[in-house]
Each structure stands twice: as C-alpha cells, then as structure tokens.
Chains A and B, each alone.
Chain A
Amino acid sequence: MSNTALTAGNMIAAVLQWVVLLILLRVFVYKPILAAMQKRRETIAKQLGESDHLKDEADKLREEAGQLVNQARDEAKQLLANARREADEQAKKIIAQAQREASYRQKTAVEEIEHERDQALAAIKGQVADLVIFAASKVIERNLNEQDQYRYVEEVLKDAGQLQ
C-alpha cells in the first residue's frame, strides 16, 4: 500500500495508540515521577526552612553568648573594682587603727613616763625631805664653826649617800 494513502483505520489506530500510551504513561510513569519530584521539592523546602530556623537559632544563641560574655566581663570588672575598693578601705582602716593604737600607746607611754617621773620626783621629794630633816636634826644637834660645818655637811651628805 502506498505511503500516501489515507486509511481511516490507520488514522484512528494511530490516535488510539497515542491515547493508550498517554494513559499508560500517566498511570505508570508520570504519576510516580511527579510524586517523587513533588516529594523532593517538599523535602528541599522543608530542609531549607529547617536550616533557616537553625541559622536563626544559632544567631540568637551567639547573641546570647556575646551578651553573657559582656555581662561576665562587666561583672568581673565590677568585682575587681569592689575588691580593690574594699582592700583600700581595709588598708586605710588598718592604717588608721595602727595610727590610733600607736598614738594611744605613745600617749600611755608618755603618761606612764610622766607618772613614773612624778612618782620618782615624789619619792625623791620624800627622801630629800627626810634627808633635810635628818640633816637639820644633825645640824641642830651640834653647833659648829663654819669650817666644821662644811665638813659636817659633807659628812652628812656622805651619810645620806650611804642612806640611799
């Protein structure tokens, strides 16, 4: 049969073959492949969304970490400053106390010394008085000439020295 012959049967058969092939491909090929493509698209979209989410979270965490570090740094600075101030205060306090104590001790020492001296003076005064009374009594006991007197006073003083 000639190639250019138009036969209704072949025309219809060709269309039917195309339609049958279309149906078969739709059911067995296009459907699963389109489903796979759709699923892949969804998976990729999901993963992209997830990665966006994770990135946001990471950004947030990094920001938080930065804030924490800054906060820690500030706190450390403050602690250090506090410690320094306290140490200064303590040192001042100690120095002040030491000064106070030193001045107190000095004062008490001075007072003690004065007291001692006063006591010593009082004792001396008493002894001098005793000596004077002793010497006077001796003088009164004897009336002497001037020469003797000197000698006698010397004697007395010598005695007094021994008396001490």
Chain B
Amino acid sequence: MKFSLTAFSWPPFFMGLVTMALVLIFGLAAARQASAAVPGGAQNMMETAIETFQDLVGQMAPEALAPNLSLLALTLFLMLVVADILGLLPLPGFGGTWIHSPTEYLSIPAGLAAAMFLLIQWSGIKYKGLGGWVYGWVWKPFPVVGLIINALEQLVMPVSLAFRLFGNIFAGELVLRMTTHLPHGIGGVLVTFGIGTLWLIFSLVISLIQALIFTILTVAYMSIQANREH
C-alpha cells in the first residue's frame, strides 16, 4: 500500500463517472413524471427507497438531522450499489484496464470513508458544541487518557469502513475473474459456468450488503456522535 499525493488513476475516476451517470439516469427516470397521483415503476422504486431510508435514518438520527441525512445516505447507497455491481457485469472489456468497480480501488472507499469521518465529527460538533466535542474527545471516558482511546475508536471507524468495502468488492471481482481462467474444454466450461454463476450471485448479494453496511454504519456513527451525552 503506497500513498501518493500526485499520482492519479484514471479507471476508477472514469468508472465513478459511469456510476454517477447510471444513478442519475435512474433518478431522472424516477423523477421524469413525478406525479402525486399513482406513481409509475421507477418513481415507485425511488419513493420506496426514499421512505426506507427515511425510516432507517429516522430510527437512529436526531430529528433535525434525519431528513437531510436520509437523502445523503440514500445517495451514498445508490452510488455504492451501482459501483459495486459495475465490476460484475459481463461488459466488453470485463477484467481489462477500464471495466472495474470503482470501489475495488482502495482510494475510492478510503476517500469516501475519510469524508464520512469528517461528517461524523461535524455532527459531533453540531450537536455537542465545539467545547463539548473537544471535551468528549479528550476527557471521556477518562481525562487525557481518553484522547488515546477516542482517537483509536474514531480512526478505526473510517479505516474499517474503507477496508471492508474495498476488500469485499475487490475479492468478489478477483474471484469472478479467476473463474474465467478455469481449464478449457467442455467440462471446464460447465465448471466455469456453474461456479462462475454461483459466485456472481454471491457477489451481487455481497455488493448490496456492503453498500448498505457502509451507509448504515456511517449513519449510525453520526447518530451516536449527535446523540451521545455530554
């Protein structure tokens, strides 16, 4: 694992743009004829997604934060789901230079996780006040020593978020790619087909679950920060 300030990798950026485009297309299809009467298919799906996240976030987050946070989390979830699945699709160029999930490049989950870390701290400052937030960092559960405990606790959050997502998606696509390199021949094709299909299904489920976990954990950490007693 190397860290570079200057290097830039274009495939994840490009696939990130594709992800954005796909989510946006779905969103626009849902909102194209946003009607207060009977909603159509795409609108129905989007409404269900919005309501699900409103419920989910509403159970955890403070009331003032919930409406915006639910939309923020929904966007994150939609983006991650599409991103995770992009690397699994049988697109031309699968496994080549360009066609990968953006999330199987550590930088992408790590960047998002870092942003989530900032969001979590922001919600702490917003709901406890700057003084309360600093006090919570330094003085809880023990004076001064708390800083070390809190630093560990708070930093583990984004790191675990990033590596969990990256690891699952990277491994999923890697293994799927490996199934295409199984021995050739009639039997090999069948084995490839069987194992590949099973793994594809598994990976699709994993993609969904990981996107949801990343999102929900972020919301949960933010809610904990916002709700915690002084």
Residues of A that sit less than 8 Å from B by CB: 1-15, 17-18, 20-22, 24-26, 28-30, 32-37, 39-40, 43
Q: Which residue of A lies closest to B19 (CB)?
A: A17
Number of interface residues of B (CB under 8 A): 50
Q: Quick check: A21 and B79 within 8 Å, CB to CB?
A: yes
Given A3-B104, A11-B110, A18-B30 contact (CB < 8 Å): no
Q: Quick check: B75 and A34 within 8 Å, CB to CB?
A: no
Shortest Cβ gap from B10 to chain A (Å)? 9
Further pairs besides A14-B107, A17-B79, A18-B115: 11, Cβ < 8 Å: A3-B104, A5-B9, A8-B4, A9-B6, A9-B8, A13-B13, A15-B114, A18-B112, A25-B27, A30-B71, A33-B34
User: Interface centre among A14, A22, A39, by most B CB within 10 Å?
Assistant: A14
Q: Quick check: B43 and A33 within 8 Å, CB to CB?
A: yes
Chain A contact residues, majority secondary structure: helix
Within B58-74, which residues are at the interface with A (CB < 8 Å)? 71-72
13 pairs across A/B with beta carbons < 8 Å? A3-B106, A4-B2, A4-B106, A5-B107, A9-B6, A10-B12, A10-B111, A22-B72, A24-B24, A29-B31, A33-B34, A34-B50, A36-B39
Q: Quick check: A17 and B107 within 8 Å, CB to CB?
A: no
- Give Cα A40 to B20, complex, Å: 29
Q: Quick check: A12 and B7 within 8 Å, CB to CB?
A: no
Within B96-132, which residues are at the interface with A (CB < 8 Å)? 102, 104-108, 110-112, 114-115
Q: Quick check: B76 and A18 within 8 Å, CB to CB?
A: yes
The answer to whether B91 has its CB under 8 Å from any CB of chain A is no
The answer to whether B1 has its CB under 8 Å from any CB of chain A is yes
The answer to whether B172 has its CB under 8 Å from any CB of chain A is no
Q: Which residue of A lies closest to B174 (CB)?
A: A3
Q: Quick check: B2 and A6 within 8 Å, CB to CB?
A: yes
Given A20-B20, A28-B28, A11-B8 contact (CB < 8 Å): no
- Give Cα A32 to B27, complex, Å: 11
- Give Cα A114 to B17, complex, Å: 141
Shortest Cβ gap from A3 to chain B (Å)? 5
Given A29-B46, A36-B39, A10-B8 contact (CB < 8 Å): yes
Chain B contacts of A3 at CB under 8 A? 104-106, 166, 170
Q: Which residue of A lies closest to B37 (CB)?
A: A40
**Interchain residue pairs A-B with the least CB separation, the first 5:** A11-B111, A29-B27, A10-B107, A39-B36, A32-B34
- Give Cα A133 to B28, complex, Å: 152
Chain A contacts of B186 at CB under 8 A? none
Shortest Cβ gap from A41 to chain B (Å)? 9
Q: Which residue of A lies closest to B32 (CB)?
A: A32
Shortest Cβ gap from B191 to chain A (Å)? 27
Chain A contacts of B149 at CB under 8 A? none
Shortest Cβ gap from B183 to chain A (Å)? 26
Of the candidates B8, B23, B27, the one whose C-beta lies within 8 Å of that of A7 is B8
